[in-house]
Amino acid sequence: MKKLTKAEIDLLLDKAQEARDHSYAPYSRYNVGAALLTADGQIYQGCNIENAGFTPTVCAERTAFFKAVYDGHRAFRAIAVIATGEEQGFPCGVCRQVMAEFCDKDFIIVTANRDRSKVDVSTFEQLLPHSFGPKDLGV
């Protein structure tokens, strides 16, 4: 799949940063925003939404994926994630498994720290090699 241009990366980071303002994180105070690019060029935004019961907390990445899947999207090109830490935060294991359901090995993951002074671009295969997915169940 086609690599992202610098302009596409910047736009996704802008959208992820905007999404971070919607974060509900009164417990961790670690706000995260995500912007997911569908194969047909649409962008879905997501934020982390925490819960006093802790377990129901959902990450920004999954919020974006589930909004897009609800709308009928099943193929994706890239996601940008921006958090509030000094260092960029990479997607957690649960979110990587959600990516395994819908993304190819060359799906792109852009991560940025608080002020975007640190930006990393990885592929899904780099973040979750030997993933378990639909192919393992013959789907």
Q: Taking CB under 6 A as the rule, does residue 30 contact ligand THU? A: yes
CA nearest to 84, candidates 64, 110, 106, 113: 113
Q: Token pair for residue 88?
A: 């960029």
Give kind and range of the element (H or E) at residue 17. helix 6-20
Residue 48 lies near ligand THU (rule: CB under 6 A): yes
| Interacting residue with ligand THU among 59, 64, 78, 108 (CB under 6 A) | 59
The answer to whether 61 is a known catalytic residue is yes
Q: Are 28 and 50 in contact (CB under 8 A)?
A: yes
Interface mask toward ligand THU for 88-127; x: CB under 6 A:
-x-xx--x--------------------------------
Given 8, 18, 61, 125, the catalytic residue: 61
End-to-end CA distance of the chain: 21
Question: Which residues of the shown chain bind ligand THU in the complex (CB under 6 A)?
Answer: 25, 28, 30, 32, 48, 50, 57, 59-61, 89, 91-92, 95
